[in-house]
Amino acid sequence: MRGEMTGDELHYYTRQGFVTDPGEHADLLDGLPIGIPALCQVVQGLLLHIFWAERYGVTLTEEREQEVEIRRVSRMLARMREMDPRPLTTGRALENKLVGNCRDFSVLMCAMLRHQGVPARARCGFGAYFEPNHYEDHWVCGYWNAGEGRWVMVDAQLDALQREVLQIPFDPCGVPRDQFVVGGKAWRMCRAGEANPDHFGIFDMHGMGFIRGDLVRDFLALNKIEILPWDGWGVMVKPDDALSPDDVSLLDRIAALTLVDSPPFADVRAIYEEDGRLHMPPGYAVDPGRFDMRRMDSETA
């Protein structure tokens, strides 16, 4: 869907948020190549997906697996620098790559693009390209292509090996809209009886409750709060039969806003700011200590 970016929206998505801010390691993002394919190669040279490690011949220790708990880009970069102090453009040996998942590939890509002044945002939803007749829990990065006047989705995780194994038929630098379903669209599809909720999820986790979590995670990411895939509270984790009519109304409303390529920016921000059910509980854990949610809100403005 084509559309014009407002000045406020452009400014908002070119600025780092609490999660993507590189902090004292911002120098590592200087001098990175310009262009989506080149940045994808940089990201792939730095991260090792925890569920693909064995495919690359890597056996992870329990200690290394804990790296997937890192939420903030500043700590990702600190750990990368600790393991290998060379510039990020120098691909790491497999054993020196940071262990992460799809969210980490997307958030790091987002941070790099924002550092270059390119509007970018992480999106949470479901990929249709991992298994037949299945929508896999997944994250991608969206960036604003000014020349084409539209948001383009990028799957920075899909390197040559994964593209071959999964037989990916498209360029990961431009994921087709029917191949990645954002949380809001999945919610609407299943609510309308157009899709089976049990076809959305990962491992043995699926159904409307799972979709609901990704719906809210995607909404939060549009507000530059890119939480971990297993983070959840409030309406995200309530049993289905414990949702109030007002909870369902809220979920339907944010789904309707976010299922399009260009969600109405003012409404997305207003709903987040006004509805406390979408806010992290005060003191929610973030690497490795705790933070004040009010401070986080001010830093993502």
Instruction: Output the pLDDT for position 281.
Output: 83
Alpha carbon distance 286, 81 (integer Å) = 20
- E-only strand ranges, the chain: 47-49, 98-100, 120-127, 135-145, 150-154, 180-182, 200-202, 205-206
Instruction: Output the pLDDT for position 4.
Output: 54
Helices 265-274 and 7-14: crossing angle in degrees, nearest 10, is 60
Instruction: Output the pLDDT for position 5.
Output: 59
Instruction: Output the pLDDT for position 123.
Output: 98
The reported pTM is 0.92
Instruction: Output the pLDDT for position 292.
Output: 36
Q: What are the residue ranges in the chain where pLDDT is below 50?
A: 1-3, 286-301
Instruction: Output the pLDDT for position 102.
Output: 98
The bridge status of strand 47-49 relative to strand 98-100 is: parallel
Alpha helices in 133-244 (DSSP H): 160-166, 183-191, 208-222
Instruction: Output the pLDDT for position 79.
Output: 97
Instruction: Output the pLDDT for position 2.
Output: 41
CA 193 from centre of chain = 26
